[in-house]
Amino acid sequence: MGDIITVVSGKGGVGKSTVAASVARHLKQWAKRVLLVDTDGGICSAQLLVSGGESAIYHLGDLFAGVASVEETTVVIEGEPHFLAAPDRLFTPREWRELALLLLSLRERYDYIVVDRAAGLDFVLEQYLTDYTALVVSTPDPLSLRGAGQACHVLRQMGCENVRLVINRFLPAYVRQKIMPNIDSICDRVGAQLIGIVPEDLFVLQDLTKGKPTKEAPYNKALNRIAGRLAGNAIALPKLKKLLK
């Protein structure tokens, strides 16, 4: 039975879709059967971040309308996670429930299902899910941390027992200069257990442009470690002193 991982954020612009697509890609590199699902209807960010996403002929709206089957809707590229594209519009209330049922049924086919969610606190999909992991992505600025804290609170109220924090675009120099809070303060403010820290990295923009991650880029290596932890591997978190060098 595969694991469902929803990737959420309290506000937009924190790199949530990049984290979702990268984690799915790295889980695939751990020799796992992985599906990436884009649920950000209308924006469809994940579609631009996964190989073959732009070639998707059908999207989830077509699937729920009976226009295409699951097999026809799923984008399959060798060496990449399988992919389901979001519709070019918002999901209807009925479609959210159908999507939840679909994800639960697909757990028989995949080891991991990574779901890129829309930014904000509208967790309508999660209310239909059980036994899933929520990755809350936040940058270290006050607005993002506030949104991440609210997201964690709402998810726990809905019964999610495994909420983990990803700190994205981390700048050690800003922590040293006390411009940003330190890691312990961030975790306390958000109220979630840390699963990984992704550094600010100019390779992100370069890789988004070329459509392929740079293997040795610091952000890519950090996301690979996060995927490894999700896959159950004992990968220690970096020590604060090492990060601040």
Could you read off the pLDDT tens digit of each residue along the chain, which spans 245 residues? 899 999 999 999 999 999 999 999 999 987 789 999 999 876 766 666 666 556 688 999 999 999 999 999 999 988 889 999 998 888 999 999 999 999 999 999 999 999 999 999 989 999 999 899 999 999 999 999 999 999 999 999 999 999 999 999 998 888 888 888 888 899 999 999 999 999 999 888 887 777 778 889 999 999 999 999 999 998 988 766 555 55
Q: What is the DSSP string of 55-117?
A: G-S--HHHHHTTSS-HHHHSB--TTS-EEEPPPSSPPPHHHHHHHHHHHHHHTTT-SEEEEEP
**Complete domains list, the chain, with CATH:** 3-243 (3.40.50.300)
Question: Encoding tokens for residue 119?
Answer: 């930014």
Is-contact 148 175, C-beta < 8 A? no
State the Rg of the chain over Cα: 17
Question: How far apart, in Å, do the first and last CA atoms of the chain sit?
Answer: 42
pTM passes above 0.85:
yes
Read off the tokens for 185: 């303060």
Tally of CB atoms within 10 A around 125: 23
Distance CA 26, CA 225 (A): 9
3-state secondary structure of 151: helix
